[in-house]
């Protein structure tokens, strides 16, 4: 049992797990309801404490299968959330595009905002055909493309800087 606990703890620090992923119809379109589980390793925590901004990107793709041609790509969306630490104010700042940033006192509170994001509008009402079934692919990763150039090289060569989930696939029947 102890071995299983150690393996589970190690797996939690090695990547991002998608714990919940559903699409919900709303008045303005279709929203992603997702939750993630991950922890930052020591190297990433130290980078945050020293003022390095980290970026977490969520990608979602909705495709409609067709037997006579390639799948119809209905939606391909990305959203990047920034996490940074303000040394002078001793607070963490989480910025989500399209909304105001939030300041919190602890790293755990900041990570909670990233792990449990608000429902994100991924498609407008007319983008999906009601009654059709769509294949949904979802993934989340720490995006090195937004890092400063010297850190991008380090992120490419250092496994501590690679934090990502496996692709989560499920189907959704549009309402």
Residue 166 pLDDT > 50: yes
Q: Say what the pTM is.
A: 0.84
Q: What is the DSSP letter of 106?
A: S
Residue 133 pLDDT > 90: yes
Q: Residue 20: its pLDDT value, please?
A: 96
Place of tokens 């909705």: 62
Q: Which residue ranges make up each domain of the chain?
A: 2-80+106-173
7-50 pLDDT, tens digit per residue, is 333 444 469 999 999 999 999 999 999 999 999 999 899 989 98
- Count the residues in the chain: 175
Candidates 3.30.56, 2.60.40, 3.30.2420, 2.40.128; CATH matching 2-80+106-173? 2.60.40
Q: Residue 149: its pLDDT value, please?
A: 65
Across the beta sheet with 17-25, what order do the strands follow? 17-25, 29-37, 120-124
Q: Residue 31: its pLDDT value, please?
A: 96
93-116 pLDDT, tens digit per residue, is 999 877 778 999 999 999 999 999
* Band of pLDDT at residue 158, cut at 50, 70 and 90: confident
Angle at 15 between CA 8 and CA 146, to 5 degrees: 160
């Amino acid at each position: 049992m102890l071995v299983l606990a150690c393996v589970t703890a190690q797996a939690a620090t090695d990547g991002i797990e998608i714990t919940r992923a559903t699409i919900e119809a709303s008045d303005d379109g279709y929203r992603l309801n997702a939750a993630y589980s991950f922890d930052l390793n020591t190297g990433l925590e130290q980078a945050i404490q020293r003022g390095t901004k980290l970026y977490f990107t969520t990608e979602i793709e909705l495709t409609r299968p067709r037997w006579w041609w390639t799948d119809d790509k209905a939606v391909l969306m990305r959203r990047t959330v920034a996490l940074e630490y303000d040394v002078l104010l001793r607070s963490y700042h989480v910025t989500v595009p399209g909304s105001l940033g939030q300041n919190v006192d602890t790293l755990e509170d900041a990570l909670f905002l990233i792990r449990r994001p608000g429902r994100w509008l991924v498609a407008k009402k007319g983008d999906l055909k009601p009654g059709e079934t769509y294949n949904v692919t979802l993934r989340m990763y720490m995006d090195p493309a937004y890092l400063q150039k010297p850190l991008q090289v380090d992120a490419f060569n250092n496994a501590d800087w690679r934090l990502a989930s496996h692709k989560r696939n499920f189907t959704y029947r549009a309402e």
